[in-house]
Amino acid sequence: MSGRERPAPPRRRDGTSPVLLALRGLGLGDLLAAVPALRALRRAHPGHRVLLAAPAPLAGLLPAIGAVDGLVDVAGPGPVPVDRPDVAVNLHGRGPQSTAALLATRPGRLITHAHPDLPAAGPPWREGVHEVRRWCDLLEWHGVPADPGDLLLRVPGPRPAGPGPVVVHPGAAHPARRWPPDRFGRVAAALAAGGHRVLVTGGAAERAIAEQVAARAGLPAASVLAGRTGLPELVDLLRSARLLVCGDTGVAHLATALGTPSVVLFGPVSPALWGPPPDVRHVALWKGRSGDPHGDASDPGLLRIEVQEVLDAVTDLLDRLEREDERCRKESS
């Protein structure tokens, strides 16, 4: 047996595979930020059955993540309806609720951050750490190597050919992270005037916002896809897109995970904590002012980002992408 090979883990008494349970009972962007950690856990436990405790609507992403065998429907920090997992991993938060929920499953081993109120060993929770790095650092502390750059989803098939649409996504879970629809509309109008096909996306609850954006931009009703795309359709759309313009929300992480260029507007939270990795395909706009990400009105820092700044960032990014495409064409000819 080579030094890199691991012995097969012992089977349970009932003949089943050992179970690794990872808790991440949050949304789309949160799950995508945990992909490197989930893949690291899979590599470290190749013989385990890996269960992800997360909201059921995210199940469609599991094949593209490629590290998870099944999903247990959990929204929030628990409780988690799994009994005696061999390993339980808290990828949800600092505790105590999430850590206590995993302790209640009676795991053979618990991987989590330390909390003064609970009997769990782990590193201290640190502020000011990027969300992707946080969970990789947690695993490293517990002896599991992880690669923070392992973010891309593994979607089968080639990317669609030809110039794709520019996708504008004006919504976000909390008003504090929503740039005004009027401003998104002015951006969409300028893009349409420049010859781009513009599509406006969002969830069903964001359809009114998307319609405001389309109306301000003079786009046809068919351009509003909010409430009309499930997660698989959104993946397909973003894979074909030339560019995404959005706020700090889950679809921004989806663009990163698919390698789709993006211009992302940050307000109450710094992109150093939740932004895309350093990459020529992604631009993060932020005015350097932090605030309450759960606020009930657009964050003052977010409002400091002007329409022209967004258009300049979009133009510059599209120009750079065109130059890169031209360079690749010349190298391949």
Question: Tens of pLDDT along 123-154?
Answer: 999 999 999 999 999 999 999 999 999 999 99
Segment 247-293, tens digit of pLDDT = 999 999 999 999 999 999 999 999 999 999 999 999 999 999 999 99
Structural domain that includes position 208: 166-332
- pLDDT for position 332: 72
> Is the pLDDT higher at 327 or at 242?
242
- CB burial readout 107-142, b (16+ within 10 A) else e: beebbbbbbeebebebeeeeeeebbbbbbbbbbeeb
Provide the total of helices (H) and of strands (E) in the chain, helices listed first: 12, 10
Regarding whether 111 and 63 lie in a shared domain, the answer is yes
Q: What percentage of the chain reaches a pLDDT higher than 70?
A: 95
Query: Of 31, 96, 88, whose CA–CA distance to 64 is shortest?
Result: 31
Regarding whether 320 and 233 lie in a shared domain, the answer is yes
For the cut 60, the answer to whether the pLDDT of residue 158 exceeds it is yes
- pLDDT for position 157: 85
Asked if residue 239 belongs to a domain, the reply is yes
Regarding whether 182 and 125 lie in a shared domain, the answer is no
Segment 159-183, tens digit of pLDDT = 887 789 999 999 999 999 999 999 9
The full length of the chain comes to 333
Asked if residue 11 belongs to a domain, the reply is no
For the cut 60, the answer to whether the pLDDT of residue 82 exceeds it is yes
For the cut 70, the answer to whether the pLDDT of residue 311 exceeds it is yes
Rg of the chain, C-alpha, whole Å: 21
What is the identity of the amino acid at 136? C
Q: d(Cα 207, Cα 82) in Å, to the nearest integer?
A: 37
Give phi and psi for 318, each to the nearest 5: -65, -40
Regarding whether 112 and 23 lie in a shared domain, the answer is yes
The token pair at 158 is 């080639």
Name the DSSP class of 11.
Answer: P
- pLDDT for position 6: 46
- pLDDT class of 8 with cuts at 50, 70, 90: low
CATH of the domain at 246: 3.40.50.2000
The token pair at 47 is 């013989």
Report CA-CA distances (Å) from 316 to 261, 281, 321, 331. 12, 11, 9, 23
Asked if residue 152 belongs to a domain, the reply is no
Query: Of 173, 314, 323, whose CA–CA distance to 253 is shortest?
Result: 173
- pLDDT for position 13: 63
Regarding whether 174 and 307 lie in a shared domain, the answer is yes
- pLDDT class of 1 with cuts at 50, 70, 90: very low
Q: d(Cα 329, Cα 318) in Å, to the nearest integer?
A: 16
pTM score: 0.92
Regarding whether 182 and 271 lie in a shared domain, the answer is yes
